[in-house]
Amino acid sequence: MAIKVSNVNVIDNSRNVSAGIVTVGAGNSQTTIDGNTGIANIGIGITAEGSSGNLTISGILTAAGISVPPSVVSFDPADGAINVDTDSNFSITFDQYITGLATDKYIRIRSGSATGTVLQTITANSGSVSVTDATVTINPSNFPVSTVIYPVIDEGAFFGVYGSPSQEINTYNFTSYSIPNEGDLFQGGYVMCKTVDTLWIIAPPEAQLYVDYNNRTTATTCAQTVTGYSGWFYPSLGQLQNPAYVCRQYSPNGFPSSWGNAEGQQNVIYSNGARGGEATSHTGFRAVAFRTVSY
């Protein structure tokens, strides 16, 4: 007996020659369902349409030409992060390994919104983009301060393990840091002073060492270890006088006598700002590292 819908045979028992097998459709679209094994052989051109939902498969899905676009798992900095360093990279981790970068797709760093001013355009397969397993890292030029950054990434910029292109990314954003004031704790140290485009930062007290002259530069590695920031340097006598002594009110512990890099016979700036020379074995003077941040 045939089962008909609108006078069309949808199930025709006359073709079900084996027990437990149901045949649906005809020609290239013919589908058979074997009730004994649970195997369904889907005919050519079969599509599934309807409302969005979930397909749950208990077991292994085997298919030819499968297309599963890479889906974003996380961002770094996190979506909506604030006070991001202006020289930061950002990365996107997907739910599958990324195996290809498009040659004709772009990452546009925009200001304020997904349609805002383009600050920089990066080709997806350029040297500014690197891949480690499922994580894509982008190394852009420095961001402006106090700016909401939107990295807008073209659809198809990256390819996953199935060869499927990534979807467009246009909602991810983070905000670069605002310019701090003198005396503020910032990027591991304290802002001594700021010029038109540069912040001068002194290492915190816990990274300031009292050592002899020959061990003064250990303050730079100490500052990096304590703060987690790189770029610390050892100051000259001139830099210890200005900005360190001139702006001493913004230093968390004022201005103790400090070793500077040698300039002739002088090697120390005293707590009153005067230059002097001391025996290099003296351990009563401070060694302190500085760093600068451009904005």
| pLDDT on residue 21 | 72
- Measured between alpha carbons, how far is residue 243 from residues 184, 191, 236, 250, 256 in Å? 15, 10, 11, 10, 14
| pLDDT on residue 34 | 76
Q: How confident is the model at residue 23 (pLDDT cuts 50, 70, 90)?
A: confident
Calculate mean pLDDT across residues 124-138: 97
Architecture of the domain made up of 72-175: Sandwich (2.60)
pTM value is: 0.64
Greater confidence (3 vs 189) lies with 189
Of the options 3.10.100, 3.40.720, 2.30.30, 1.20.5, the CATH number for the domain spanning 185-294? 3.10.100
| pLDDT on residue 5 | 60
Placement of tokens 């369902």 in the chain: 33
Break the chain into its structural domains and give their ranges. Answer: 2-41, 72-175, 185-294
Greater confidence (64 vs 172) lies with 172
DSSP string of 86-100, one letter each residue: TT--EEEEESS-EEE
Q: How confident is the model at residue 17 (pLDDT cuts 50, 70, 90)?
A: low
| 133: three-class secondary structure by DSSP | coil
| pLDDT on residue 11 | 60
| pLDDT on residue 97 | 96
Q: Which of 70, 87, 182 is nearest to 135 (CA)?
A: 70
| pLDDT on residue 66 | 67
